[in-house]
Amino acid sequence: MVLYEGVPDHPHPGRLWELVDRYGITVFGIAPTAVRALMRHGEDWPARYRLDSLRVLGSTGEPWNPDPYLWYFRHVGRGRCPIVNYSGGTEVSGGIVCGTVVHPCKPCSFAGPCLGMAAEVYDVEGRPTRPGEVGELVVTRPWPGMTKGFWKDPQRYLETYWSRWPGVWVHGDWAARDEEGFWYILGRSDDTLKVAGKRVGPAEVESALVTHRAVSEAAAVGIPHEVKGEAVACFVVLKPGYQPSELLAQELQDLVAQRLGKALRPEVVEFVPDLPKTRNAKIMRRVIRAAYLGQDPGDLSALENPGAVAAISRRR
């Protein structure tokens, strides 16, 4: 096992690929957020190193967008290494859904529930969803690493995970299954945007944004709107060589509208140097929203880069 200290792009953007080359790493795991950040430096960096020792690629921490997933597969795995996607949580003591090396995989997907996990996707009525429908990721039976409660706060534990449907753990993620049986995690259900009566996950907006040649990373949050109730605000990190401009912001607004519909056209596009993330590279959307609206962001103990919050606050 190889452990390293520091950030993945210092002293240069090829640091992770250099480690693979130097130590002959065979199984390599990374968060999608880190891949999106490294993509901005181009495919030349992984191409400089010998990566033929790799057999399996892993990923966890955030939902994938197709472009970063395929970049990871093609330029790091060289088109031959399977990506084993994995999603769970600290409070689960492991995974809920995962990929394997013996099942087929599709971009951004999971093969199905992990061993010992009675995972399901429920609609608003607490019924299993049909293929293609988005619902709440739930677990319907006890599992080996089941959390017993929150330290000195048992009621909050019950309200957070067990209050929606009797005897059912509600994880707090949107999920879906397709016609072929592949599973997808689509983001936190409490991050869902509701614009003019239409529900959309932030990952859908962000996936549209990162298809633009100038965009390295993006986060979408909901902000109050007098007419729609809620509007979409996007925070964008640009790739090197691109500069913020009103024209570029309009291009990104039009891109989202083209892909998701005019009702979901972002009200705001803000260019920022970085997005607030946890130490395991999850984007903290609730913190972005609070900072932009001048509200209390709550607990920031897991925040890796406080300067990103200050930069967003200055955009108000």
Q: Are 275 and 299 in contact (CB under 8 A)?
A: no
Q: Angle at the Cα of 226 (from 223 to 232), degrees rounded to 5?
A: 30
| Domains, in order of start, for the chain | 1-81 (3.40.50.12820), 192-313 (3.30.300.30)
Taking the C-alpha atoms of residue 111 and residue 266, their distance in angstroms, rounded to an integer, is: 33
Supply φ then ψ for residue 164, to 5 degrees: -75, -55
- Binned at pLDDT 50, 70 and 90, residue 188 comes out as confident
The total number of residues written for the chain in this structure: 316
Q: How many CB atoms lie within 10 A of CB 232?
A: 25
pTM: 0.79
Is the pLDDT reported for residue 139 higher than 80?
yes
d(CA 88, CA 116): 13
Quick one: residue 229, left, alpha or beta (phi over 0 = left, psi -120 to 50 = alpha)?
left
- In one-letter notation, the amino acid at residue 88 is G
Contact at 8 Å (CB) between 32 and 60?
no
Helix, strand and coil content of the chain, in percent to the nearest 5, comes to 30, 25, 45
One-letter amino acid at 165 equals W
The full DSSP string for 46-97 is HHTS--TT--EEEE-SS---HHHHHHIIIIISTTTS-EEEEEEEGGGTEEEE
Tell whether the model's pLDDT for residue 17 goes beyond 80. Answer: yes
For residue 227, pLDDT over 90 is answered with: no
Amino acid 63: pLDDT: 87
pLDDT value at 303 more than 90:
no
pLDDT at 4: 87
36 and 65 Cβ atoms separated by less than 8 Å: yes
Q: Cα dist. 33→36, 92, 180, 203 in Å?
A: 5, 22, 27, 12
Give bridge partners of residue 236 from the DSSP assignment: 218, 271
